[in-house]
Amino acid sequence: MSAKQSPPHYDYVADFLSPVESDSLFSHLKSLHGYILETGACNLLPTHSTVMYGPRQAYMDCVPKPYRAVSSGEAPDFLAGLKQRIEEKYLCCFNSLQINQHYDHNSNVHSHMDANPGHICMISVGAVREFVLKEARTFKVLARLPLENGSLLTFFPKDQWRMRHEMLKSVTPCGVRFSVIFRYIPEITAKTMLQNITGSKEKQRVRAERDAEYEAAQQAWRDRRKTVIKP
């Protein structure tokens, strides 16, 4: 009889940013240009706006094109320190940054899994909203997290594929919440999603190419880091 699998691993730090840091980040995000209404669901209208920097994971073919975000180029300088801080915390690198603006209590995130390899790190600032984590296959609730102003929620490599996450509409009125999401998105994942591919062999090929690029990028980053940080 096979051993029972442990629950998917995640990390939640409620006070990753100080109140001063959180307020400053909120102000910068509020003044950003380029937000567009966006949804990753085929049949759901958007309840948030987003702006992307670096590669963006491809959409499912059925998502309406007016609600698909494209890259705005390089990330703003005010986020460079935060990116470096998170990279050093988990010893990994990111090439993609997504900022979502949830306007009020009606904003929600539909239940889904992420398809990219590696760490996924999300900073929340503004209104406190509950995130629900569930096992991917059984939909058993793993955690209900009130994402505090200045909190960090991290999904770990491979574990995010065993876990769904969602943010339901709030039962009480609230203000704006921003989420700042760091990922590494391989080139092939930016071109197409696995859900758009038919045929198991082609899916296996795409997965292998995706994972190989990710591992090569992480190793290259670790090698560069060694030359900067002397023992």
**Digitized pLDDT (tens) for each residue of the chain, 231 residues in all:** 456 778 889 999 999 999 999 999 999 999 999 999 999 888 889 999 999 999 999 999 999 999 999 999 999 999 999 999 999 999 999 999 999 999 999 999 988 888 889 999 999 999 999 999 999 889 899 999 999 999 999 999 988 889 999 999 999 999 999 999 999 999 999 998 888 888 889 999 999 999 999 999 999 999 999 887 665
Q: Looking at 136-176, which runs of residues are DSSP E strands?
A: 141-147, 151-155, 163-167
What Rg, from alpha-carbon coordinates, does the chain have?
18
What is the rounded distance in angstroms from the CA atom of residue 197 to the CA atom of residue 192?
A: 8
What is the rounded distance in angstroms from the CA atom of residue 218 to the CA atom of residue 210?
A: 13
Query: Which domain range does residue 185 map to?
Result: 10-228
Asked, for residue 222, whether it belongs to a domain, the answer is: yes
Asked, for residue 82, whether it belongs to a domain, the answer is: yes
Asked, for residue 3, whether it belongs to a domain, the answer is: no
Give the full edge-to-edge strand order of the sheet including 151-155: 10-13, 151-155, 120-126, 177-183, 96-102, 48-53, 36-37
CATH code of the domain containing 150: 2.60.120.590
What residue has token string 């198991």? 200
pLDDT of residue 58: 93
Asked, for residue 219, whether it belongs to a domain, the answer is: yes
Q: Report residue 146 as tokens.
A: 């009130």
Query: Do residues 197 and 203 make contact, with C-beta atoms less than 8 angstroms apart?
Result: yes
Asked, for residue 5, whether it belongs to a domain, the answer is: no
pLDDT of residue 179: 98
Asked, for residue 4, whether it belongs to a domain, the answer is: no
pLDDT of residue 1: 46
Asked, for residue 2, whether it belongs to a domain, the answer is: no
| Half-sphere exposure (Cβ direction) of 24: Cα atoms closer than 13 Å | 8
Query: Do residues 112 and 209 make contact, with C-beta atoms less than 8 angstroms apart?
Result: no
Give the full edge-to-edge strand order of the sheet including 163-167: 109-112, 163-167, 129-135, 141-147
Pairing outcome for strands 109-112 and 163-167: antiparallel
The closest alpha carbon to 225, from 79, 82, 78, 88, belongs to: 88
Asked, for residue 1, whether it belongs to a domain, the answer is: no
How many domains, in total, are found in the chain?
1
Q: In Å, what is the CA distance from 44 to each residue of 99, 144, 166?
A: 19, 23, 14
